[in-house]
Amino acid sequence: MKGSMDAFQFADTVEQGFKRCSSSFEIRKVPVADGGDHTGKILSKALGAKKVTVSVSDPLGRGIQSEFSIVGKTAIIEMADASGIKRMKPEELNPMKTSSYGTGQLIEHAIDRGCNEIFLGVGGSATVDGGSGMLEALGFKYYDSEGNRLSGNGANLEKITKINKPEVVKEITIWVISDVNNPLLGKNGAAEVFAPQKGASSEMVEKLEVGLKNWALLLEEESGRKLADLTGAGAAGGIALPLAAYFDAEIVPGADFILKKLDFEEHVKWADLVITGEGKIDTQTLGDKAPVVVARIARKHEKPVIAIGGSVDKGASEGFDALFSFINRPLTLQTSMKESEKLLAEFSYELARLILVI
């Protein structure tokens, strides 16, 4: 519930309402994610990973403290923690200038600590640079047609004509965990759909589309692979493209990947009722967002599933056995988000009362 509660708070609040109603309820809380916000936090806690704090660059190149987690030789990295919109003021958003360089630094720090596998959650990014900034941080260099060195950002994508690889490209396994399946180019691609959310004007969108096309062609020539048509290649401004080209990274649907790591199916087998939620539940939720994947697993085991949201659209009803909004009176969006925990606790209490009498 972006801007009001994370998955941990949601689970705690629903439990609070149920326990206030009756101590007879047995509850398991399994916070989930789908590649968007808090993916790193949820995976880290579930897998018992240890947090590491490092200095990296934000999307505009300013020094910041960021973090990732390590369990064994696996690093759990959330792109947004270095290269996310949350690192910027609204007036600073500009995908022509922003770079994923800081995300590359996080990957480099993980490699330096002996990691050979990366779980990379890519939701919440502020960039549409095709992952060029990230790749630059990993030792790659770019040049234009006149031999001038270029930095990795959205504006330079259309100018790059040559990519120089470092002498040694590290052998690591990378899983790009995404909550969207958009292609790289076209009306549903990274520039058209996501760049405006990151501060792009219509003119910027056109330039970014041209740049991403040029970038994809270069990477395809380098790798000998068709990359632009990969499902989910448009996520996070195309960051998966160079990872697929040079590190054979795989783009995975976030909810399915994370729920498997959480052994979610075992928890569903234990339960009599499954409760899930999202800030806004609508037809987009049905596109493999976490709540509908939770529901799919619940239905596989013939367990009823209730979805709770702040705003709900009846078009999403087919995905769940019951769909409710916890907003119980006319409220502004600002007020409802501010009071979300109280409202959810009240709703959960009433839901628990209903369950007891059925």
For residue 273, count other CB atoms closer than 10 A to its CB. Answer: 14
Residue 2 is assigned to a structural domain of this protein: no
Q: Are residues 220 and 348 in the same domain?
A: no
**pTM attached to this predicted model:** 0.90
Domain shared by 281 and 325, yes or no? yes
186 lies in the same domain as 334: no
Q: Are residues 74 and 203 in the same domain?
A: yes
Position 171 in a domain: yes
Report the CATH number at residue 195. Answer: 3.90.1510.10
Is 77 found in the same domain as 101? yes
Looking at the structure, tell me whether residues 48 and 190 fall in a common domain.
yes
Number of folded domains that form the chain: 2
Which of these three, 255, 284, 305, is where a domain ends?
255
- Round to whole Å and give the CA distance between 276 and 294: 7
- Beta-strand relationship, 141-143 and 117-121: unpaired
Full residue range of the structural domain in which residue 100 is found: 39-255
Supply the CATH number for residue 337's domain.
3.40.50.10350
* 281 in the same domain as 246: no
- Spatial CA neighbour of 184 closest among 236, 255, 243: 236
Residue where one domain finishes, among candidates 255, 279, 298: 255
Domain for residue 1, yes or no?
Answer: no
Domain assignment present for residue 228? The answer is yes
Q: Which residues of 305-327 are buried (b: 16+ CB within 10 A; e: fewer)?
A: bbbbbbebeeebeebbeebbbbb
Statement to judge: residues 340 and 218 lie in one domain: no
With beta carbons less than 8 A apart as the criterion, state whether 160 and 215 touch.
yes
47 with 142, same domain?
yes
Residue 260 belongs to a domain: no
If asked whether residues 13 and 129 sit together in one domain, one would say: no
How far apart (Å, rounded) are the C-alpha atoms in residues 126 and 94?
8
Does residue 174 share a domain with residue 233? yes
Which residue, of 206, 229, 255, is where some domain finishes? 255
> Which one, of 17, 14, 81, 95, lies nearest residue 43 by Cα?
81
Task: Note whether residue 329 is domain-resident.
Answer: yes
Q: pLDDT tens digits for the chain (358 residues)? A: 877 889 999 999 999 999 999 999 999 999 999 888 789 999 999 999 999 999 999 999 999 999 999 999 999 999 999 999 999 999 999 999 999 999 999 999 999 999 999 999 999 999 999 999 999 999 999 999 999 999 999 999 999 999 999 988 888 999 999 988 899 999 999 999 999 999 999 999 999 999 999 999 999 999 999 999 999 999 999 999 999 999 999 999 999 999 999 999 999 999 999 999 999 999 888 888 899 999 999 999 999 999 999 999 988 999 999 999 998 888 888 888 888 999 999 999 999 999 999 8
Domain assignment of residue 143, yes or no: yes
Closest CA to 2 of 252, 330, 290, 195: 290
Domain-located, residue 100: yes
Residues 169 and 273 in one domain: no
**In this predicted structure, what is the pLDDT of residue 169?**
82
